[in-house]
Chain A
Amino acid sequence: MTAPELTSAGDVPVASTRRSVLLRIAEMRAWLFLILLAAFFEIWARVVYGSSFILNIYNLRSISVFATAPLTLALGQTFVIISAGIDLSLGFIMGLSSVLAAHAANYLAAQLGLPPFLAMLLAITIGTVTTIIPGLVNGALIAHLRVPPFIGTLGMYGVARGAAYLFAGGMTVAISNPWYSAIGNNRVLGVPVVVVLTAIACLIMHYLLSQTRFGQHTYAMGASQIAARRAGIDIKRLTMRIYLLSAIMAGFAGAFYTGRFSAGAAQAGEPLLLDSIAAVVIGGASLFGGSGTIWGTVAGALVIAVIQYGLVFIDVEPFWQFIAVGTVIIISVLVDQTQRRFTGGRQVE
């Protein structure tokens, strides 16, 4: 791990004006990527198809729905990464929630005779609330038993995965609840419900991270755990809360996956885990902790979604998607390193 340094959003050290402008740009790099990508696809679409890529409500809707699941995981992951941790169990915690929510929806409606709407609400609650267990176990392993986050959550990755597959019996668990499917696929005022819900989640998470003591302590802990402890922050309690929050966000993602695809699947979040980490990193957070923002993560998730959607839209060989996303991650980390050399030079070494 590197030496302690403070580079969180609010803590940009005073430097020359030119430098701080550069720093602002470096912080906003995910949005810059996004604008560049959108411009690239816009030009291509206009030249080849004679239509607009951006000013196309259909494309915007498709991309935003596409981004919701990885973004929901990435929101919780942002807190974890800022605290200098990592949560590898999110994908299967999402799957576990998805399977349990599907079972609950079926059971409540068929066995207890609850109306579909109530069954849906309870199912989402059950799927989400259950994730408190893996979240607390993760937190306890890391905070109290001093297990490194990478290993502790890797263990939970296996446990949650096994549990999810066991509950699902190795199959997908279909639901037939019109309300539940509607919440996953319908629109309010032209905006898909899942997008509205994800946007609300982003606002809440942004408030938590930037405006509350919990959020500021998370930055402090990621920048330097020793300093944070000496400053009187209860690191153990904070760690528990951070991993609990990330598990609950994964629970939401899973419960809504069930609505969207009308079925619970244990493997629902498996391919999304790395995308969620990539979104946080492209968004400007450092894997060494202490920096990152929710809006950066939002941009990071949109960058990934726009690349993957756009390359299919302009009909490019599919394997270019991997290269494109990989390249953006590498550039993003390079920018981060350069920025660190600027701001943290004195503290490093």
Chain B
Amino acid sequence: MERRSFVKLLGAAGVATASAPLLAGKASAADKITIALIPGLTADGFYVTMHKGAIAASQAVGADLIYQGAAEWNVSLQMPILDAVIAKQPKAILIAPNDKQQMIEPLRKANDAGIAVICVDTFIGDGVFQKGSGDVDFPISYVASDNVLGGRMAARALAKAIGEKGKVYVSNVKPGVSTTDQREEGFKDEMKNYKDIQVLDTQFNDDDANKAAAQFQAVLGRTPDLAGVFGANLFSAGGTANGAKQAGVTGKVKLAGFDAPESIVPQLKDGTFELTIAQHPAEIGYFGFIAAYAHVTGNPVPAAIGTGFTVMTAANIDDPNVSKYLYKSE
């Protein structure tokens, strides 16, 4: 997969901002456009930051934003929230679906009710929309980081850190989550380019840092020459780092993390993490909202908008151009 062109992305933003003043006049006539954002879960810095991006966009174009989500990553919790949001009849829904398959029909219902659907972060079906064929073609656009690319970037950076040789493995949440699956896929695929690097079996930790720590120690126990680990999300990475600390191999076994809460800064500086891949969730929220707004106001929108990544290391984390991508709660 290729990273989607930035030009398209700018195009979407440009169209929307250009039409904004035009519409601001109409909006005062009591039919202000309402757009909803349903995150994958609410209790997560990633989505908190995405929400901020969406707020910024809603203020920029003068539309209303509804933000509702479940506390947990679970289809049976997301479904009723989607129903409640549909009942409010927004013009468009931005959603990070909790499952590739199970959320298809509920979202189709929304689409049939005349509400435009845009996927953010995660997707339904195969994530390729508006191609004029196929069963799951109705979402207007998919706005997300290219997670396969994120996995590749982690692989390249980690390979460099371990001198392009040795054994590594992926610490992951659980199978079936589109984003983390893709990170693992990208990581493993990229590692094939390094013939002296061996990728061991993936360890799944159910988002339990305690388990991720024990798994690291168990793998290290049987593989004393372990060179590096890729923690595919926050708790996988944090748990693995603790396992390394307990085993006294911090800095010796190189760790690559994914995502960038503010707590990552001291951990990069003290060598707990060699690097972390920061997504740009605020951009996802911002451009997702703008794309929805553009569509609702009759403007064309690209079917896929890719937002970027930043590789953070101890060397660059003090650079404001890098640290601005840390996920913030305030």
Q: Does B327 make an interface contact (CB < 8 A)? A: yes
A49, A70, A174: the one within 8 Å of B261 (CB): A174
Chain A hits for B45, CB < 8 A: 170-172
Interface string of B195-218 (1 = CB under 8 A from A): 000000111101111110111011
A84 to chain B, nearest CB (A): 29
Does chain A have a CB within 8 A of B263? yes
Q: A15-23, A145-153, A260-268: which one contacts chain B?
A: A260-268
Q: Is B43 an interface residue (CB 8 A)?
A: yes
By a CB distance below 8 angstroms, the chain B residues around A319 are: 204
Name the B residues within 8 Å of A172 (CB-CB).
45, 234, 238, 261, 263
CB-based nearest A residue for B208: A271
Check B48 for interface membership: any CB of A closer than 8 A.
Answer: yes
> For residue B329, which residues in chain A have a CB less than 8 angstroms away from its CB?
168-171
CA distance A317 to B175 in the complex (A): 13
Q: How far is the CA of A62 from the CA of B42 in the complex (A)?
A: 33
B217 with A309: CB separation less than 8 A:
yes
Digitize A275-288: 1 where CB-to-B-CB distance is under 8 Å, 0 elsewhere.
00000000000000
Interface residue B247 (Cβ < 8 Å from any Cβ of A): yes
Q: What string of 1s and 0s marks CB contacts (under 8 Å) between B132-159 and chain A?
A: 0000000000000000000000000000
Q: Is B14 in the interface zone, CB < 8 Å from A?
A: no
Which one of A169, A261, A308 contacts B209 once the chains associate, using CB atoms below 8 Å?
Answer: A261
Name which residue of chain B comes closest to A319, CB basis.
B204
A window 39-90: CB within 8 A of B: 49, 56, 58-59, 61-63, 65-66, 69-70
Within 8 A of A (CB), among B264-280: 266-267
B-chain residues with CB within 8 Å of residue A185 when the two chains form the complex: 242, 245-246
Interface-centre pick from A170, A263, A312 (highest chain B CB count, 10 A): A170
B42 pairs with A174, CB closer than 8 A: no
Q: A342 contacts the other chain (Cβ, under 8 Å)?
A: no
Q: In the complex, which of the residues B211, B246, B330 contacts A169, with contact meaning CB atoms closer than 8 Å? A: B330
- Indicate if A338 sits at the interface (CB-CB under 8 A): no
Cα-based distance from A203 to B206 in the complex (angstroms): 31
Number of interface residues of A (CB under 8 A): 45
B215 close to A312 (CB less than 8 A): yes
* CB of A214 within 8 Å of the partner chain: no
Nearest-neighbor residue (CB-CB) of B328 within chain A: A171
* B113 within 8 A of partner (CB): no
Bound CA span A192–B213, Å = 14
Given A170-B44, A267-B43, A318-B203, does the pair A312, B214 have CB atoms closer than 8 Å? Answer: yes
* B209 contacts across to A, CB distance below 8 A: 261, 265, 268
- B242, B261, B267, B330: the one within 8 Å of A260 (CB): B242
Complex: A308 Cα to B214 Cα, angstroms: 8
Q: Chain A 292-309 against B: per-residue CB contact (8 Å), 1 yes, 0 no?
A: 000000000000010011
- Report if A165 contacts B (CB, 8 A): yes
From residue A89, how far is it (CB to closest CB) to chain B in Å? 15
Interface centre among A70, A162, A312, A319 (most CB of B within 10 A): A312
Closest B-chain residue to A175, C-beta based? B263
Asked if residues A69 and B221 are in contact (CB atoms below 8 Å), the reply is: no
Contact B222 A314 (CB under 8 A): yes
Closest B residue, CB atoms, query A56: B221
Q: Tell me which of A62, A165, A310, A312 contacts B246 (CB under 8 A).
A: A62
Say if the beta carbon of B71 comes within 8 Å of chain A: yes
**Interface presence of B225 (CB below 8 A):** no
Complex-state Cα separation, A219 to B22, whole angstroms: 74
B235: chain A residues at CB < 8 Å are 265
* B221 touching A59, Cβ below 8 Å: yes
Task: Answer whether residue B189 sits at the interface, using C-beta atoms and an 8 A cutoff.
Answer: no
User: Which chain B residues numbered 176 to 206 have a C-beta less than 8 Å away from chain A?
Assistant: 201-204, 206
Interface presence of A217 (CB below 8 A) = no
> Contact: B42 with A170, CB < 8 Å?
yes
> Does A176 touch B at the CB level, under 8 Å?
yes
Q: Would you give the shortest CB distance from B77 to chain A, in whole angstroms? A: 12
The answer, among A69, A312, A314, for a CB contact under 8 Å with B203, is A312
Decide: A169 and B261 in contact? CB cutoff 8 A: no
What's the minimum C-beta distance from B294 to chain A, rounded to whole angstroms?
29
**Is B219 touching A165 in the complex (CB atoms < 8 A)?**
no
Contact (Cβ within 8 A) B214 A309: yes
Does residue A207 face the partner (Cβ distance < 8 Å to B)? Answer: no
> Do B263 and A262 touch (CB < 8 A)?
yes
Contact B201 A315 (CB under 8 A): yes
User: Is A117 in contact with chain B by the CB < 8 A criterion?
Assistant: no
B83 interfacial contact with A, CB 8 Å: no
State A218–B262 Cα separation when bound (angstroms). Answer: 45
Chain B: CB-nearest residue to A62: B217
Residues of A within 8 A of B210 (CB): 66, 69-70, 271-272
**Shortest distance in angstroms between B1's beta carbon and chain A's nearest beta carbon?**
27
Q: Report A-chain residues with C-beta under 8 Å of the C-beta of B208.
A: 271-272
Query: In the complex, what distance in Å separates the CA atom of A317 from the CA atom of B222?
Result: 15
A165-B43, A315-B201, A315-B222 known; A170 and B214 CB under 8 Å?
no
Q: How far is the CB of A95 from chain B (nearest CB, A)?
A: 10
Please measure, in the bound complex, the distance between the C-alpha atom of A173 and the C-alpha atom of B330, giving whole angstroms: 12
Q: Is A161 an interface residue (CB 8 A)?
A: yes
Complex Cα distance, B208 from A318, in Å, reads: 14
Determine the residue in chain B with the shortest Cβ distance to A185: B245
Residue B222 contacts which of A49, A169, A176, A268 (CB distance < 8 angstroms)? A49
Cross-chain contact B211 with A271 (CB below 8 angstroms): yes
Sort A-B residue pairs by CB-CB distance and give the 9 closest, nearest first: A174-B263, A169-B329, A312-B218, A62-B217, A66-B214, A271-B208, A171-B45, A313-B218, A171-B329
- 29 CB < 8 A contacts A-B: A49-B222, A59-B221, A62-B218, A62-B221, A62-B247, A63-B214, A65-B214, A66-B211, A66-B217, A165-B42, A165-B43, A170-B43, A170-B45, A170-B47, A171-B262, A171-B327, A171-B329, A172-B238, A172-B263, A173-B263, A176-B266, A261-B239, A265-B209, A265-B235, A271-B207, A271-B210, A313-B221, A315-B201, A318-B202
